[in-house]
């Protein structure tokens, strides 16, 4: 490795590692927000302006089948 030194390589590795960690954190935060909002939408649908939801209706099964058929991930 002509001209490359361990400090140079180590500094670049640290930058790449930090970037990868930051990206993973951002993706996880976005997924958390997305899934929370999906849950909120489902609960609001199930409650239908009632104080409490009446769970057990086919909502999740039907939603799963529809999204799977549409290949939405």
In a domain, 63, yes or no: yes
Q: Which residues constitute the domain of residue 50?
A: 6-70
In a domain, 58, yes or no: yes
Q: Are 59 and 38 in contact (CB under 8 A)?
A: no
In a domain, 36, yes or no: yes
Q: Are 42 and 63 in contact (CB under 8 A)?
A: yes
Q: Are 49 and 67 in contact (CB under 8 A)?
A: no
| Tally of domains within the chain | 1
**Cα–Cα distance, 59 to 63 (Å, whole number):** 6
In a domain, 61, yes or no: yes
pLDDT tens digits along 13-72: 999 999 999 999 999 999 999 999 998 888 888 777 676 666 656 777 888 888 888 876
In a domain, 17, yes or no: yes
3-state secondary structure of 56: coil
In a domain, 44, yes or no: yes
Quick one: pLDDT at residue 42? Answer: 84
3-state secondary structure of 69: helix
In a domain, 1, yes or no: no
In a domain, 31, yes or no: yes
């Amino acid at each position: 490795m002509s001209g490359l030194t361990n400090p140079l390589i180590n500094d670049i590795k640290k930058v790449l590692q930090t970037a990868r960690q930051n990206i993973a954190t951002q993706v996880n935060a976005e997924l958390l927000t997305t899934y929370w909002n999906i849950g909120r939408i489902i609960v609001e649908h199930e409650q239908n302006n009632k104080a409490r939801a009446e769970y057990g209706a086919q909502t999740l099964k039907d939603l799963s089948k529809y999204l799977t058929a549409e290949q939405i991930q």
